[in-house]
Structure 1
Amino acid sequence: MGAPFFMIRDLCRHRGVRVYSSNYALYGDMSARVNEVYRRFSPRIEVYSIDESFLDLSDVRPKDRVTLARDMRSAVLKWTGIPTCVGIGPTKTLAKLANALAKGIPELSGVCDLTDEDERAAWLGRTPMNEIWGVGPATTRKLEALGCDSVADVRDLDPRLARKGLTVVGERLVYELRGIACLDLETLAATRKGCAVTRSFSSRVDELATMQQAVSTHAARLGEKLRREGLGTDHLTVFFHTSEHDRGDPQRSVSAVVTFPEATNDTLILSKGAMSGVRRVWKDGYRYSKVGIITTDLMDLDGSPRALINGFNRERSGPLMNALDDCNRRWGRRSVVVGSSGWTKDQSWSTKFEMRSPRYTTRLEELPKIRAA
């Protein structure tokens, strides 16, 4: 995991591994379709990630939950082609643990129910700690120091001892494993706290103008994301670095923070700021492999403070950005762009998707074609 493709290219060829470029449009659309199927089985759902969701089954009789889970798996597979596993438990942590068991034990046929206390105790006693949601190598070592070996050992810890060794997160973990819910179902998506747009270059960049074109493009994407949620930012961080795999080349990793007098999501302002950050820390003589823009502490733009001096004209910016977004939605992304980001055909640095699978569900022109013999 995480190895550069060029390092394992021969292995992939020898083992017959199929290699694809990222296809985020397809992933996001298929995730939405799967969750629409889930909503037919439960009205209360938390979309935890692109491939995981929590469903509230409290209104379903305990004896019917496994049957419902199997029906749901069958519906998802039939309507989307996506195989799934279902874990059922009285808490989120136990549901996640049940899901891990359902994936790893073929005899469970993709569904594991840990709501029964006796059956749960049997599973927890023979399940290693690293199967617990959120328990990585560092936490595992701390739990081993407390005398734990299995999930059952973690469940039986004194909550005060767990809090002392693992903070309140550890104490909450103990209660969740005992079937006492400490984590609510979050049916409303949390307000975004930060945003990042980062990309690796398809070829190394060693010119300032090319780097500025890249950050201008990423700033435009950042602006789109912020406007979609009505958020703004009064600062951003631009970073770029070389690749450790370019042996013999000088190495450099650098970043610059750009601040604005007030919060904004205007592509023109974000782009200008990002390019100024690049100019501030740029040095010739390096071959850069990746660039990105990160911003944190996002705020609701309409309720954010206004600057007394050097503020932005939001009355002009708002309609202009709405027109920009409307054009790109209607005629396709980057139909209208900021001049500093250049036309797509001129972006030789941009990430290549030469091995991307077709975006069947969101691009009419990429639908499979059937021809009569």
Structure 2
Amino acid sequence: MPIFALVDCNNFYASCEKLFDPTLKDTPVVVLSNNDGCVVARSAEAKALGIPMGAPWFQIREAAERQGVVAYSSNYALYADLSNRVVEVLSGFSPNVEVYSIDESFLELSGFAGVEPDLAAYGQRIRQRVADWLGLAVCVGIAPTKTLAKLANHCAKKMLAGSAGVCDFTVISDDALSRLFATIDVGEVWGVGRKIALRLDEMGIRTVEQLRRTDPDLIRRRFSVVLERTVRELRGLSCLALEEIAPPKQQIMSSRSFSRLLTERRELEEAVASYMATAAEKLRRQRCLAGVVQVYIRTNIFKPDEPQYQQSMALPLLAPSDDTRVLTAWALRILRRIYRDGYGYHKAGIMLLDLIPLHQRQASLFGVEQEEGGRPQALMQVLDEINARYGRRTLQFAAEGIARPWQMRRNRLSPSYTTKWDEIPAVLAR
């Protein structure tokens, strides 16, 4: 029987911010979205104050600060680096690890049942190791399926079923699980979103136990094979294998809101070129080529009293490519076609579609690759290697701009404690 563990970092973004500042130990902390817009993460203290997820910061700022809340801009470099370190630690507990998200990973523990008879104790060792080596708190859910492991992790966080940061469903009887699941809302099940939960509610299915006892074939007819698998997983039948290698993305998107409204096409072109450079780097990292480029722009939909305009367009390339120069050229062509003067633009984005593996590259009948850049692979490889060694944007294209006054606002950004030499925390003796 397979056994999975889901390890989830508690309040990850907020915990990362607290990690390097001891003065924040008992302080309510929130992390804000792009342009310091909405609350996207909360520490336990902030949750206790009733600060809602997704709340616009400008609306709650005064009240929150009166309660001692400290807000930070999203520090993605810090979060990504600490996430990688957590995965490194977890790799010491199982050779099979699936990184599910920036703060969650599945571990395969099937081979440990005999070696580690008490898997809950093994989960506690995982928690202690992450806490000792990284200073971060995690919860561990253990179960015979990935869906149940997610649910066990939920119970571990809520201290249900007598758990203390670790919940092991493999040692709980079916009757005890039934009583527990009867107290948990169906919306807590992995993959059951708000819309599905509403439809289930119409069928009288409101708890995890009710969903577990529903006929899987009926669920498949009413919903999908995906939700049918969820029901079977809740019954202990493993339908979802561990994905140690993330499958290639079917599309790559890069977009941001601007720190101010852009009224000149030149500034929009810089933004689009910058987003394309980011997307093209991701494309090469997964060793794929893009066959279609899409660009979209829009004004601020939250200001309906101002002139509104939004438009997007997708164009197929003459030949699939991963060359930043080629992709950027096509993106700028599209932008010039959809741009309209007289508007203040709030957001732009690009998307790479029709992705194919690099080894499936098909030469163009008319030799387009040579016409549009010569030896693109060698040049892009050098570009990526230099930026990987010396930091992002060490080398960049002039089209991306230098000053970038349109970049998203991050006025509350904490230092990059682990990724920049000049921002490493210093300990001073007094």
Q: What range describes the TM-score normalised by the shorter chain of this pair? A: over 0.9
Tell me the residue number matched to 1:38. 90
Equivalent-residue separation in structure 2 for 1:4 and 1:148 (angstroms):
33
Name the structure 1 match of 2:337.
280
Letter in 2 for 1:204: L
Q: Does the alignment pair 1:139 with 2:216?
A: no
Whole-Å separation in 1 of the counterparts to 2:269 and 2:388: 25
After TM superposition, the structure 1 stretch with the greater mean CA deviation from structure 2, 221-230 or 312-321, is: 312-321
Distance 1:319 1:72, change over 3 A: same
Q: Is the 8 A contact 1:195 1:295 kept in 2?
A: yes
Match status 1:91 vs 2:145:
yes
In the alignment, what sits opposite 1:59?
111
Write the deviation string for residues 281-310 of structure 1: whole angstroms up to 9, x where unpaired: 111111111111112231112322222125
1:13-28 to 2 correspondences below 5 Å: 13-28=65-80
Once the two structures are TM-superposed, the CA of residue 219 in structure 1 deviates from its matched residue by 1.2
Q: Distance in 1 between matches of 2:386 and 2:238?
A: 47
Residue 205 (structure 1) aligns with: 262
Moved more, 327-336 or 191-200: 327-336
Cα distance 1:372–1:171, how it changes in 2: closer, same or farther (>3 A)? Answer: closer
Report the 3-state secondary structure (helix = DSSP H, G, I; strand = E; otherwise coil) of the residue aligned with 1:85.
strand
2:165 to 110, 113, 119: 110
Matches within 5 A, 1:192-341: 192-309=249-366, 311-313=368-370, 316-341=375-400
Q: 356-365 or 307-316, which moves further after superposition?
A: 307-316
C-alpha distance in structure 2 between counterparts of 1:25 and 1:127, whole Å: 36
* Residues 243, 63 of structure 1: alpha-carbon distance in 2 compared, 3 angstrom cutoff: same
Question: Which residue identity is paired with 1:193?
Answer: Q
Q: Deviation per CA, 1:216-243, whole angstroms, max 9, x where unpaired?
A: 1111111111122221101111111111
SS of structure 1 residue aligned to 2:342 = coil
- Matched letter for residue 300 of structure 1: P
Distance 1:118 1:187 in 2: 33
Tell me if the contact between 1:261 and 1:310 (Cα under 8 Å) persists in the aligned partners: no
Compute the TM-score of the two structures, normalised by the length of structure 1. 0.94
1:81-121 Cα offsets, whole Å, 9 max, x none, are: 11111111111111111111111127521111112333322
Partner Cα distance (1:14, 1:289) in 2 = 31
Identity of aligned residues (%): 40
Among 127, 142, 151, the alignment partner of 1:73 is 127
In the TM superposition, what is the alpha-carbon distance from 1:69 to its structure 2 partner?
A: 0.3
Q: Report the equivalent of 1:186.
A: 243
Q: Is the 8 A contact 2:98 2:245 kept in 1?
A: yes
Bigger CA drift: 114-123 or 124-133? 114-123
CA distance in 2: counterparts of 1:169 and 1:332, whole angstroms: 41
Q: Secondary structure at the match of 2:289?
A: strand
Q: How many angstroms apart in 2 are the aligned matches of 1:220 and 1:66?
A: 45
Shift of 1:210: 0.7
Shift of 1:315: 5.8
**Equivalent residues of 2:273, 2:399 under 8 A apart:** yes
3-state DSSP of counterpart to 1:147: coil
Higher deviation after alignment, 353-362 or 282-291: 353-362
Cα distance in 2 for partners of 1:133, 1:361 equals 32
Separation (CA, whole Å) in 2 of partners of 1:301 and 1:119 = 51
Letter in 1 for 2:58: F
Greater alpha carbon shift after TM alignment, 328-337 vs 15-24: 328-337
Partner of 1:6: 58
What letter matches 2:60 in structure 1?
I
Regions of 4+ moved over 4 Å: none
- For 1:11 and 1:282, the matched residues in 2 are separated by 41
**Within the alignment, does 1:365 sit opposite 2:422 as a pair?**
yes
Distance 1:14 1:243, change over 3 A: farther
Total equivalences in the alignment: 371
Stretch of structure 1 that moved more, 96-105 or 334-343: 334-343
Unaligned runs of 5+ in 2: 1-52
Distance 1:272 1:315 in 2: 15
Name the CA distance, whole Å, in 1 between partners of 2:129 and 2:306: 53
Q: What letter is aligned with 2:248?
A: T
For the structure 1 residues 249 and 372, does the alpha-carbon distance in structure 2 shift closer, same or farther, using more than 3 Å as the test?
Answer: same
**Aligned partner of residue 59 in structure 1, secondary structure:** helix
Determine if contact 1:93/1:133 at 8 Å carries over to the other structure: yes
* 3-state secondary structure, aligned to 1:361: coil
For residues 240 and 307 of structure 1, what CA distance do their matches in structure 2 show? 31
Greater Cα offset, 200-209 or 62-71: 62-71
For 1:47, which of 84, 99, 117 is the aligned residue?
Answer: 99
Aligned to 2:38: none
The one-letter code of the counterpart of 2:85 is: R
C-alpha distance in structure 1 between counterparts of 2:213 and 2:120, whole Å: 27
Which residue in the other structure is 2:20 paired with?
none
Larger deviation: 101-110 or 208-217? 101-110
Determine if contact 2:291/2:353 at 8 Å carries over to the other structure.
Answer: no
Whole-Å Cα distance in 2 between the matches of residues 4 and 371 of structure 1? Answer: 38
Compute the RMSD of aligned alpha carbons: 1.8
Task: Give 1:201 shift.
Answer: 0.7
Partner of 2:48: none
Distance 2:333 2:59 in 1: 36
